[in-house]
Every structure is written in structure tokens, then in C-alpha cells.
Structure 1
Amino acid sequence: GTIYPHPPQSNPSEAFQAVRHWIDRYAIEAIAIGNGTAGRETLDWLHQSLDPSWRERIYLVSESGASIYSASEVAREEFPDLDLTVRGAISIGRRLKDPLAELIKIDPKSIGVGQYQHDVNQKALKDKLDREVEYCVNQVGINLNTASRQLLTYVSGLGSVIAENIVQYRLDHGAFRDKATLLKVAKLGPKAYEQCAGFLRIRDAANPLDNTGVHPERYELVRRMASDQHTDLNGLLHDAGKLKSVALDRYATSEVGLPTLKDIIHELEKPGLDPRGEAAPPEFAAHIRSIDDLQPGMVLPGVVNNITQFGAFIDLGIKESGLVHLSQMADRYIKHPEEVVSLQQQVTVKILDIDHARKRISLTMKGI
């Protein structure tokens, strides 16, 4: 449904009742708000309307490229009967839940990152991006039973054709119960299986190792470890003491060295762990709603939303981002902003100057 908490239709009471109804009906755990038009106003409205316990569960999410996605072929395939605006809203919600899985559906040209994005060789940029995304996908691990075709494409050893076949197999036969069943997927042979199996996860699988990054070719080794500790696989995975007492030297061979064994133990310590951190709700000054509320000397919280060679742009919770010039980033000499900040990092800044005519805000991080 659509709500109107803001002018001109302004009906905040009815809007709140609708939100409260959705929270109760669907057991909502978090709320994602697009950071575009009226995003900050909606954040403030929800903070004021909902119980204080919700403050840590309401997030501002980047809208970059959401409108492009909503009109794309991928979106039409996923939601053929939905309006463009609804598709965009779904994409924003999914970005909060799993940004990696959602952002790979959008052409990087539509996201708008980096100072020279459109000046470099576009093919080289895409090739580099594909490699980086593949690295991230394989580092995080992919849920075999929920991953989209687009996400599966980036798993080592797969590609678009096999990814499509995996999705079709799920539709025809239901969820995968073990990794070995992958060999029944059309065009997924032993070589592709060898490459992809370690990066796929199956939650609640009969074999608990199927929800880890341990490769199936090492399952027998782990069973030996469990047996030597006088337990089974589940017992080994849920007993930190037994894992720590595994004498890795006993299992080292020319084929499986100590580094590999240590990686296996690390996976067993926290099976199915997503290495990504928790999303953090934005922290902005409640009394700052527009550039007109700013004054030189103010110290404010913000979030790094873009990094260039000459500095970093900071989201202050208003329409305009402020710039911290390279020379204002640290009390020491630095060559590049990334020595001090990273994207989406929470920072504290002081306002140096405001150019109201050109809507520019100069900031500093020195001496704070």
C-alpha cells in the first residue's frame, strides 16, 4: 500500500496506522528508507511515531540505480505484474537485507561511484568489477536454495547458463538437500562442481558440512577428525573444546597443508557464518534538516558516501553532501583519503564554510 505522511497529501495519522498494521501483520524486524526525496523526513517521522526500541532498526538505504533496476529486464522477469515504484521499493528493502545480492543486478554505470568512473576504459572497468564481485561472492558464500540467477553467475565455476539451470532445477525438484545433487544439474559436470562446491551453502542440510566453506573433497578428512575426538560431525561442530584439541599436524599431508587445515577449523568453528558486519542505522543531528540549519563551527556526525582523490563527501542527513578536502582530513600528511576513511564509515566533522548560492559545504576532520 501507499502512505502519505508528508505534504501535500499529508495524512500522518492514517500513515502511522498503516505502518503499525504492517509491522504486526508481517512481524517486520527492520525498516529500509530510500535516502532520496523525503528520506530524512520519513526517518524522523518514524523515529517520532514508533516506540523508541525501533530507532536501531530503521535504516537509510542508498537509492542509487534503484529506478534503473525497476525498469530493467531483470526486474520485469522478477515482478512482471508490479508497478515500477513498487519494484524500486522492493529493491531498496533487499539492499538492506543483502546488498551484494541486489546490487549485482544493476549496471555499475547507474550506481555512480568514484571520481573518474565514466572517464576510464569501460570494458576494463567492467572486467575489473566482475572480478571484484566474484571475489566478494566467493568470500561471503552463497545460499544455494535462495540465490538468484544473477548471483549464482558470479560463483566460481558456474556462469550464466549453469546458473539458469540451477534455478530451473530448484523450480522442478524443490530445494537442494545436499551439494552432491548439483551433479544432476544440466551442464554442471565434475570440474564445475569441484570449482563451485566450496562457495555454496545449504542451510539445515543433512550433512552439516554442506553449510560451511569446507570443500566436499575434504569431508572425509573432517569425519576422521570427529572420529578421533570420539564424536560425530555435529558433535565436533558444536564443541569448541573438541575443535581446539584437534592436532592438525596429524592430518597434514603434501596435498593438505597446515594453512588449509587451519582454514577448515576456522570454518568449523562458526559454520554458515556470514563474514559481513551488521548494518548500522545512520546517526545524524536531529536538529539539522536542511543546508539553512548549518552554521560554521558546528560539529556533526555524518557518513562517508563518496571518495575522490581530492577528498571525501560526507552525508550529513540533508540533501547536500559536504566535502572534506584532502588537506582537512587528518592532523598528519596523507596522500589519499582512503588512508583515513572508507565508504559508509561513520565520521565526525566540523563545518568550515557554507556557500548557500552554490549549495556547497566545506568540512574538516582535523582537531576533532
Structure 2
Amino acid sequence: MESELYDCFDRNLVVSQIAESVKVRPAQTLAVVDLLEAGNTLPFIARYRKEATQGLDEIALRAIADALESARELADRKSTVLKTIDSLGLLTPGLRQQIETCGDKVALEELYRPFKPKRKTRAATARERGLQPLADILLRQQTLRRSRSEVLRPFVDPAKEVPNEEAAVQGASDIVAETWAEEAETRQWLLHQARQFGQIFARVKRGKQAEAQKFDTYFDYKETVRRIVSHRLLAMKRGEEEGFLNVGLQLDEESTLRQLSARLIRNPQFEFHRDLVAAVSDCYSRLLLPAAESAVMQQLKERADVEAIQVFGDNLRKLLLAPPAGPHVTMGIDPGFRTGCKVAVVDGTGKFLFNTTIYPTPPRSDVDGAAKTLLDLIARFDIDLIAIGNGTASRETDAFVADVLKSPRLKNARPITKAMVSESGASIYSASELAGQEYPDLDVTVRGAISIAHRLQDPLAELVKVDPKSIGVGQYQHDVNQAALKKCLEREVQSCVNSVGVDVNLASPSLLSHVAGIGPSLSQKIVEYRDAHGPFARRQDLLQVPKLGRKAFQQAAGFLRVRDGLEPLDNSAVHPESYSVVRKMAAKLQVDVKQMLGNTQLSSRIRPEDFTDDTIGLPTVIDIIEELSRPGRDPRKAFRAVQFADDVHALEDLKPGMILEGVVTNVTHFGAFVGLGVHQDGLIHISQLSTEFVQSPSDVVSVGEIVRVRVVEVDKERRRIALSKRDVTG
């Protein structure tokens, strides 16, 4: 009963509000809310419940899910506030209505503010000294027709630490300042002023100039609240966190005080007018401005977090969906100097076959011995691909491998593709508990070489083993809300994994854990069952896995593939709940189901409307026909290796005007970073991405994309490379 008394979650109202904010129809919103509350996952809803949602994509579904979560959090907070105020005996019908109809957390906390327990303030001390009646006189501002001394004398009491009239008026002024600062209208007015006319400033701390050179842009910087962009705010906040900058909010003090005085001081003839003017100044500088600064900074930070997290999510998605080189025998090389280059060979399924160490780079420079080792391995294992990590000694190793591939011993061999692969996060994975479980008998450095090979074969399958924050494609990822970042990145990983599909008989527990409805615990049980009983012959066999129930199977089945199994449709994205529809199609065409897979001529003869009924609608039937035409299609693009310039190995080799091929390593709000194979990424500023206006760099380039750029400037001292795509063809 008590929970119902304070329940503030109005489902119909929430659905209506979400529909309006996300700009979808209420019926669609209600359908999504129903599906989410029934335990369905976003990938499943997006792919297999299009009739219910009327075709909403995953972006809209995420927006609805987030808005629903926010609405529940707000409702829970309202319930807590109502219960707390009611326990104090101060909950009036009017206040209850204000709280129940309140639309956001900031406004809710303003309503709750007067009822919060307060820390010991100057005003509280003044009240303890009996100065509230004097403060009331000041607040009323009525002409007294008495002298100041006559008014103040009764409040002087050395025993209460009010030794004289000046102390009395000062204490009363403290109460007045706090009273004004607690007025919701006054707080809202100043907050509005701060948002409209305020400036965010940054200044270098005294004596920190030498240490803070990376923040030199912000040594004496101002930008209006209305115009400041997220990446600059986050840069300033980082400088503040590292102890180099003072960051804050400022307003035109003279103008603001004049307007504030006009709002608060009503009687210029009042005997204590001068004291009230001083109280206004104190109220503003000590109470109102810090509160406004805190609120504005919080809102700007939240906005910046959302934008930075979105950039990180977009970049991660592009990286995860990078073109796979495919199931070929691959050699992974983790380059190095003193400790040598670690070499690992894996087969087409990623299974580890062999490892060794070569020393083609200084100080040993055993080029001939290293070349012989590589050529022997190429012949022994019939190598198709060579993946080279892009860390220390990468260009030297890349040049060495290029020379090896020109060897006469390979004259009649089929072409071998070599590619530079990002090592970001590989060292963290290599030393992780997961890597130890996968390769318990191998050294950390060998695990790194294996991971490099896997990243070329299938970036998605390998990168899911690494904490996304370690992959290095974010913007201020350590400065943003970590819970929100984690949620966003987990969603992106899940979305990518499910859009590609997973071979249930080859996938690692890490990859399986991101399949809709599975998770870490079930993924481990699937692998344990597979190890004990052999490969799954049908999707239906997954129901034999302990703890994997009907709901998990429903959510996961369409995203799991069983290749060469007993049921041909198990190697497609057709959900088992729709197999009967495919069989009806096959019967109408008088063919076997197997004959329909990949046969566009047969698919084109199917009329979708002939197979709709009360349980299956046109969108699903159209999806089924499309899937039959291209079963198990991979949405990722075809693989191509970046070709770094042979004569460019270090930053010192770069010259303005050079046209080079590189790979986009990171995209931010202000531009894109491009790897050129010189151990230092160059920056294409947003203004140099195109000859046309660019709203967002992500509209033009994406992480992993191979681009041609022109070198604009090379700052060797600061190790900065300025690049441009303007007027560069190809």
C-alpha cells in the first residue's frame, strides 16, 4: 500500500512523452515498451518484431529504451522525495501535485531543496544567536521611522556572541542572503542569466606554465556558455583535473548585481538599504553564482559526455565492423627491437599452430636468418596472410617482410597479402585472465602475436575480447560518465556481433556472450557443452545446454549460425519461428528448402503477400525472402590492406605536399586522425576534410577507412602532423 501511495510512474503519460521526444507514434512506443518489459533484447526487437514496432530501427529503439529508463529513474526519485517530505509532515496537496507533474530531475531537486537537511551555515549560526527576527525586519523592507541603533540594540548580546550592533546586522544579513538564495524564482533567474550570457573561462595556475604546455590553448581562455563545444569543455576539465588550470563560470558582475538588486530591493528609503545592497552582493558571489556555476557546468558536462560517448560508440562500431581478411592461414608478427619480433601462425579457424622469434631489427639485425625462418614458415604452413602489429619497430618490420615477399623462393607461389594491424589493447588482452585461459602454456608476447593474426582474420571476433576503452578510438573516454560509456559501448558491441552473426561451433565465449539473450554465464555453458558433446548439429540442440531456456533461445537463435548442419536454414538469419513459412514457400515452388538458399531466381518468384497471416506480417516475409537470396550475408565490406609509402618510415621522412595513403585511426568532433605508418598519427582538421562544408567529421570519414591525404605541415619539435583531404583524389 505504501508503495502505491508514492508511486509516480504513469505508464500512459510516459509512453506519450517518449513518443513526443523520440518523434514516433504512441502506438509504436507502446509496442516497444511492451516488448522491453517482456524481456526482449533490442537486436531481437529490431530484427524480428518489425510488425509490432512498424519498422523502427535500432537507433529509435535505443532512444525509447533510454527514455523509458530515465522516466523510471525520475519516478523513483519523485517517490523518494514525496515519502521524505511526507515523513516531515510538510507535504501539501499543492506540493504533491508540483512534484508529481515535474518534468526533469533539476526541477525536482529545486522543489526538494527547502526540505533537505542543511549543513551548518552562517545563516544557521545567526539564527542560533537569535537574529531571525532582525532578518525578518530586513526582509520586509518597511520604513521603520526609527534609528538603526534603536532597531539593533535589542539584538546585541555578548553571551550569544553578538558583541555589537555591527555583528547583529551582519548576522541578520547572512540570514537574508541565504533566504534570497533559496528562492526558486531567484535561482532560476540567475541560472537563465548564466546560460544566456555567461562565459566559461580557463586560466593557467600560477607557476604551472612549463608543465602545462599541452593545455597552452587554455592558459587565458573564454567562451560563452551558449557556444562552447564539447571537446573544448572536456579539454579544460581535464586540465583542471590534472591541476594545471582554473576553470569556472563568469558573468558581467556589475550588470548582474544591478539587475539582481532591482529584483530583491524594493524600498530605497529603507533604513537598512545599504546593508541590503551588501547582502545582495554577498548572496550573489557566495551562494547564487557558485550554485549556477555548478548547475551550468553539470549540464555542459552531461551534454559533452553524451556527444563524446556517441563519438566513441560510432568509432567503435566502425572498428568492429572493419572488413575481415577471412578464414586464411595467417602469420601474426608482434614487432620489436631488442627482444625481437614474436611470430605466431594460426590456421583458417584461428587455431594456434606455431610460434618463434626472429631478430631482423637492431641491435641484432639478423636479416638473413629472420628471412629464412619466415620463408620456411610460409612454405611449411602455406601462409596466405601476414599481419604486422603497428607498434614499436612496425615500419622496419614491414619493410623487412616486404623484402622477404620478393624472394625468388616465392616466385611461383600464390600472392601473400601483408597488412599493418592496430595493436591497441592487444597488450592488455595478452596479459588478461581470458588470454591465460585460452593459451595457458604460451608467453604473454606470443599471445600478442596470435591476437594480431586474429585481428586481421576477423577484427570483430578478436576485439570483443578487449575492454572497448582500451582500443583507443574515443575522445576523452576517461573523462566522461563511465557508467553511460560502458552501457553505450556494450550496446555497440552487441549490435555489431548480432548484425554479423556468430558461428556457434567456432565462437569463443567472449563472442558468444554478446549474442542477444546469452551473456557471459550462458556463453561459457554453451562452450562447455560443445566441448563435451561435439559441434551442434542444429540450432534446436542449444536447448540441451544447461540453464539455456526458451526465452534465451528465442532471443539468440536467429543470430547464431550452424554451418553444414542438419537444418539448412540454421546457417541463415531466418528465425526458427519462421521456418514453417519457408517450408510453405518451398512447397509452393515445388522445391526443397535447401534449393532456395542463395537462389535469387526462385526467391524472385515468391509473392510476399501470399505468406502473411495473423502471426506474420509483410516486413518479416520480405526479410525472409531477402535472407533466402543471400543466406548468412556478412554486412562488412571487402578487405583491402592499406599501402604505406615505401620511402616513409618516420616523422622526419614527411615533407609538406606529399600525397600519402593512410588509415583513419580516430574520429573526433574537430577532425580525424590518420595513421601513416610513422608512429605518430596526423590530424585532418574538420576544415580540411572536404572542399564543401562538413557538419561532422563522421559524415565524411570513419575509423578503419583507407584515405589519401596531403601533408600540410610537420612540426617535428611538437611531433604534430597536419593533413588535408581537400583536392586530393582517390
TM-score category, normalised to shorter length: over 0.9
Among 613, 617, 626, the alignment partner of 1:253 is: 613
The letter for the 2-side match of 1:252 is T
The yes-or-no answer on 1:180 pairing with 2:540 is yes
Residue of structure 1 in register with 2:328 after alignment:
none
Partner of 1:243: 603
Give the deviation of 1:244 after TM superposition.
1.1
Name the CA shift for 1:281/1:238 in 2 (closer, same or farther; >3 Å): closer
- Asked if structure 1 preserves the Cα contact closer than 8 Å seen for 2:384 and 2:416, the reply is no
Q: Which residue does 2:466 correspond to in 1? A: 106
Between the aligned partners of 2:681 and 2:610, the Cα distance in structure 1 is 57
> Deviation at 1:254?
3.1
Question: Paired residue for 1:191?
Answer: 551
C-alpha contact (below 8 Å) 2:359/2:365 kept by paired residues = yes
Q: Deviations over 1:35-62 (max 9, x none)?
A: 1112122222222221488776111110
In structure 2, the CA distance between the partners of 1:323 and 1:156, relative to structure 1 (3 Å rule), is same
- The CA deviation at 1:238 is 4.5
Q: 1:55 to 1:309 in 2, by over 3 A?
A: farther
- What is aligned with 1:46? 401
In 2: Cα distance, 1:198 partner to 1:357 partner:
54
User: Aligned pair in 2 of structure 1 residues 54, 308: CA closer, same or farther (>3 Å)?
Assistant: farther
Structure 2: stretches of 5+ with no match in the other structure: 1-355
Kept after mapping to 1: 8 A contact 2:512/2:523? yes
Conserved 8 A contact 2:598-2:631:
no
Alpha-carbon separation, structure 2, partners of 1:178 and 1:262: 24
TM-score, structure 1 normalization: 0.96
1:89 matches 2:449: yes
Q: Which amino acid aligns with 1:25?
A: R
C-alpha distance 161-7 of structure 1, shift in aligned 2 (>3 A): same
After TM superposition, the structure 1 stretch with the greater mean CA deviation from structure 2, 245-254 or 64-73, is 245-254
Aligned to 1:330: 690
1:167 aligned to 2:522?
no
Quick check: 292-301 or 163-172, which moved more? 292-301
Which range is displaced more, 247-256 or 182-191?
247-256
Aligned match of 2:386 in 31, 42, 60?
31
Q: Which amino acid aligns with 2:534?
A: G
Letter in 2 for 1:260: T
Cα separation, 2, equivalents of 1:99 and 1:346? 16
Tell me the residue number matched to 1:230: 590
Distance 2:374 2:525 in 1: 39
Match of 2:516 in 1: 156
Given that 2:425 and 2:470 are in contact with CA atoms closer than 8 Å, whether structure 1 keeps it comes out as yes
Q: Are residue 146 (structure 1) and residue 501 (structure 2) matched?
A: no
Q: CA deviation at 1:188?
A: 0.8
Structure index of larger Rg: 2
Give 3-state SS (helix, strand or coil) of 2:683's partner. Answer: strand
- Counterpart selection for 1:22 from 367, 372, 377: 377
2:490 corresponds to which residue? 130
1:5 partner letter = P
* Contact preservation (8 Å) 2:662, 2:674: yes
Amino acid paired to 2:624: I
Provide the rounded CA distance (Å) in 1 between the counterparts of 2:478 and 2:618.
Answer: 45
Query: CA offsets per residue over residues 125-179 of structure 1, 9 Å max, x none?
Result: 0111111111111111000001111111111111122111101101110000001
What letter matches 1:134 in structure 2?
A: Q
Counterpart-to-counterpart distance in 1, 2:426 and 2:594: 42
Residue 358 of structure 2 aligns to a residue whose secondary structure is coil
Q: Tell me whether 1:286 sits opposite 2:646 in the alignment.
A: yes
**Runs of 4+ residues deviating >6 angstroms:** 52-56
The one of 58, 62, 75 aligned to 2:435: 75
Deviations 1:279-306 (A, max 9, x none): 2211121111212112112222221111
> Out of 620, 627, 636, which is 1:276 matched to?
636
Aligned to 1:346: 706
Work out whether residues 56 and 281 of structure 1, in 8 Å CA contact, stay in contact via their aligned partners in 2.
Answer: no
Corresponding position: 1:120 with 2:475: no
Secondary structure at 1:347's aligned position in 2? strand
**Residues 475 and 668 in structure 2, CA contact (< 8 A), matched pair in contact too:** yes
Report SS of the residue matched to 1:353: strand
Q: Is the 8 A contact 1:34 1:60 kept in 2?
A: yes
SS of equivalent residue, structure 2 residue 632: coil
In the TM superposition, residue 19 of structure 1 has moved relative to its aligned partner by: 1.3
Cα separation, partners in 2 of 1:107 and 1:54, compared to 1, 3 Å: farther
Report how far residue 25 of structure 1 moved: 1.8
| 1:314 equivalent in structure 2 | 674
1:82 deviates by 0.6
Which residue pairs with 2:366 in the alignment? 11
| Secondary structure of the corresponding residue to residue 2 of structure 1 | strand
Q: How many residues align?
A: 368
Measured in 2, the distance between the counterparts of 1:345 and 1:238 equals: 30
Of the structure 1 ranges 289-298 and 57-66, higher mean CA displacement relative to structure 2 is found in 289-298
1:314–1:321: 8 Å Cα contact kept in structure 2? Answer: yes
Quick one: which amino acid aligns to residue 716 of structure 2?
H
Residue in structure 2 matched with residue 296 of structure 1 by the alignment: 656
Gaps of 5+ in 1: none
Partner in structure 1 of residue 717 of structure 2 = 357
Q: Percent of counterpart pairs with the same letter?
A: 49
Q: How far off is 1:255 after superposition?
A: 2.2
Q: Structure 1: how far apart are the matches of 2:595 and 2:711?
A: 57
Post-superposition Cα deviations, 1:188-235, rounded to whole Å, max 9, x if no partner, equal 111111111101001101211010011111111111111111110111
Q: Distance in 2 between matches of 1:24 and 1:223?
A: 48
Letter of the 1:169 partner, please give it: Y
**Higher fraction of helix:** 2
* Residues 47 and 54, structure 1, Cα contact 8 Å, conserved in 2: no
